[in-house]
Amino acid sequence: MKVDAIAQKKSGGGFLHTLSQLWVQVAIAMAAGVVIGYAWPDFGAKLQPLGDAFIKAIRMMIAPIIFCTVVHGVARMADMARVGRVALKALVYFEIITTAALVIGLVAINILRPGDGMNIDLSHFDTTLVKSYIAKSHEQGVVPFLMQIIPNSFVGAFTGDNVLQVLFVAVLCGFALAQLGERASAVTNVVEQAAQMLFRIVGFIMWAAPLGALGAIAFTVGKFGAGSLVSLGKLLLCFYLTCLVFVFGVLGPIARLAGFSILKLIRYLGEEMLIVLATTSSETVLPRLIAKMEAAGCEEGVVGLVVPTGYSFNLDGTCLYLATAAVFLAQATNTPLGVGQQIGLMFVLLLTSKGAAGIAGAAFVVLAATIASAGTIPVESVAILLGIHRLMAEGLVPTNLIGNAVATIVVAKWENALDETKLRQALAA
């Protein structure tokens, strides 16, 4: 009897413990969002503010967290040459992997050809909804992108949406503290304590993650519904398949060479995966990704440099989306696009993809900018994707998250800044 009572108590405790975990709550909320969006689409569409509010609350914390993490990490490194070496290694890795993503995206879309036979006549298509995206696309370019890294003022870096501006200011502050040495130890300690406070605030905000997930999923299903999935289902299937091929065919072997399993890493990032799936924004888990990469044995300074930089320079999923979507639009509008033109398109994408900030809306603007730069595909054709862009983001954003996590571990190992024992323990937990 006593054994049975203890077993029942443990069973009940286990169930309550499982229910208290964030990923379980988010999963339940996502399921509820699908039901609400499908059964009551109008009501589901009205729940969008829940998702938007959660995203805004998390984005509010990104700039100060990046600042404190990077300043403290760079200041502790002390060796400025090492900081530059880490940054250079990260950028080299980013370019190689994003190029691989573009090549895979172009090969997959040319093999599967989901746009063939659509024969879309843009004169009969409503393109008014994409005029604002097309207007924003003209602001894209290499020089404007580089100039935007420098903020108009020190404080201005924290009031905008450009992660690289915060990173730029933080690296400068870290360099200054490192040169001051012991005289700046008090400031460095304050920055470290401030970072801990900010991560605690993020923990409070994450309590609202299930509500944010419910609102975002209910809005997606209620607004775009099954109709969008049916009409452009081949493209969605092609894109999701391409993302899976990239994750397990490219990132998987890289992870194996670095000494860890991609499947275990995905499981380790399970909660973050569910959150980005629900919100279609990888920025919602940027603070948690920084914390989890440090907990997995990556040195703080490396994490502070690689993760924020990766959110602009290592968007693997975004590259897959851009390559797939651009060629699909050419197929759907019967626009001839030869091998030479596609190679040229790939080089354009290598530049324009760096302007996406890791959120789903930015990828759509960059797509318009890429097509406008290439000058072969009608830029108005992006209207075809407006209805399912958010659904494509369900594959785009998790791929970005996994890509940046792999990049952080690889660069840390490359720099001998990885505690492999902690990594094994974290991934096995």
pLDDT on residue 360: 46
Whether the CA torsion 140, 144, 147, 152 is positive or negative: it is: negative
**The amino acid at 390:** R
Phi, psi angles (nearest 5°) of residue 362: -65, -35
In total, how many domains does the chain have? 1
pLDDT on residue 420: 93
Chain position carrying tokens 């091998």: 339
Cβ atoms 288, 269 nearer than 8 A: no
Phi, psi angles (nearest 5°) of residue 390: -65, -35
Q: Return per-residue pLDDT of the chain as tens, 429 residues.
A: 334 443 444 444 566 666 777 778 888 888 888 888 888 888 888 888 888 888 788 878 878 888 888 888 778 776 677 778 888 898 899 989 999 999 999 999 999 888 787 776 666 555 555 555 555 555 555 566 677 778 888 888 888 767 778 888 888 898 888 888 788 888 988 988 998 898 888 888 888 888 888 888 888 778 766 554 555 678 888 999 999 999 999 999 999 999 999 999 999 999 899 888 888 778 788 888 999 999 999 998 889 888 888 887 888 988 899 899 889 888 888 888 888 888 888 887 877 676 554 444 567 777 777 777 666 787 777 777 766 777 788 888 899 999 999 999 999 999 999 999 999 999 998
pLDDT on residue 224: 64
Identify the CATH number of the domain in which residue 170 sits.
1.10.3860.10
Distance CA 245, CA 243 (A): 5
Cα separation values, 416 from 78, 119, 279, 300, 420, Å: 16, 54, 35, 13, 10
Domain, as residue range, for 16: 2-42+54-428
Q: Global pTM? A: 0.76
47 within domain boundaries: no
20 within domain boundaries: yes
pLDDT on residue 127: 53
Distance CA 222, CA 401 (A): 26
Distance CA 176, CA 13 (A): 51
48 within domain boundaries: no
49 within domain boundaries: no
111 within domain boundaries: yes
Cβ atoms 91, 313 nearer than 8 A: yes
Residue whose C-alpha is closest to residue 395's, from 219, 267, 236, 261: 236
Cα separation values, 31 from 53, 215, 356, 389, Å: 20, 11, 30, 21
